[in-house]
Structure 1
Amino acid sequence: MGIIKLTNIRVYAYHGCLVEEGKIGSDYRVDVSVTANLQPSATSDHLKDTVDYVLVNQIVKEEMAIRSKLLEQVCKRIIKRIFNEIDIAEEASVEVSKINPPIGGNVEMVTIAMTLHRSDYSDPTQL
């Protein structure tokens, strides 16, 4: 097994429970790790045999563009897409961080982290 990591994907999005968050938006950081069998790609040297990190980045950007009240929902949507679009993905971990959250204090970021295993679901649509 191996891990493909995308670290510090920066996006501007409109998530949050407050009406203002949906209007003005804020900066986010997303980190993704995908665990898969990377031995076939290490031997073949073919993109089709590995986790395409360009696709993972695209999934993150597309899902971050869909407004949600809770970052938990965003994490789950990203993981669901990874399992649906990357057949060799066995486990996916996603961290979504809101930079400078509006919580009335000096907080650099708030992070929601979620890890799911493909084997936990017989049907990926259950995610």
Structure 2
Amino acid sequence: MGIIKVTNIQVYAYHGCLVEEGKIGSDYRVDVEVKANLQPSAESDQLKDTVDYVQINRIVKDEMAVRSKLLEHVAKRIIDRILAEIAIANEVTVEVSKINPPIGGNVEQVTIQMTLSR
């Protein structure tokens, strides 16, 4: 078993329950961790045998472009796509952070983390 991490994927998106969030948008940070058997790729040195982090980045950007009210909903969509599209992924953890959320205080970010296994 091994872990591939793609961290600090920066995206501008329009998530949130407030109407203004859908119009103005906000900065987000997404971190993804995929657990998989990396032994075949360690031996073969072939991209087809591993978790392609370019594909992870594309999935995150695609799903972040679809407006949701809740960060949990976005994270679940990202996880579901990774599990559906990357056969060797056994477990996926996704963190979605909203930078400077509009919650009436000086808050750097709010983060949700979700993990799903096959």
Q: The TM-score by the shorter chain falls in which range?
A: over 0.9
2:30 counterpart residue number: 30
Deviation at 1:102, TM superposition (A): 0.0
Q: Which residue of 2 aligns with 1:2?
A: 2
Amino acid at match of 1:58: R
The correspondence of residues 7-86 of structure 1 with structure 2, limited to 5 A, is: 7-86=7-86
Deviations 1:88-116 (A, max 9, x none): 00000000000000000000000010000
Paired AA for residue 43 in structure 2:
T
What count of residue pairs does the alignment treat as equivalent?
118
RMSD: 0.2
Give the TM-score normalised by the residue count of structure 1: 0.93
CA distance in 2, matches of 1:88, 1:74: 22
Any runs of at least 4 consecutive aligned residues in structure 1 with deviations exceeding 6 A, and if so which?
none
Structure 1's unaligned 5+ residue stretches are 119-127
Unaligned runs of 5+ in 2: none
State how far apart, in whole Å, the 1-side matches of 2:29 and 2:101 are: 12
For 1:5 and 1:74, the matched residues in 2 are separated by: 18
Q: Which residue of 1 aligns with 2:116?
A: 116
C-alpha distance in structure 1 between counterparts of 2:75 and 2:29, whole Å? 12
Q: SS at 1:104's partner residue?
A: coil
What is the distance in 2 between the residues matched to 1:26 and 1:76?
19
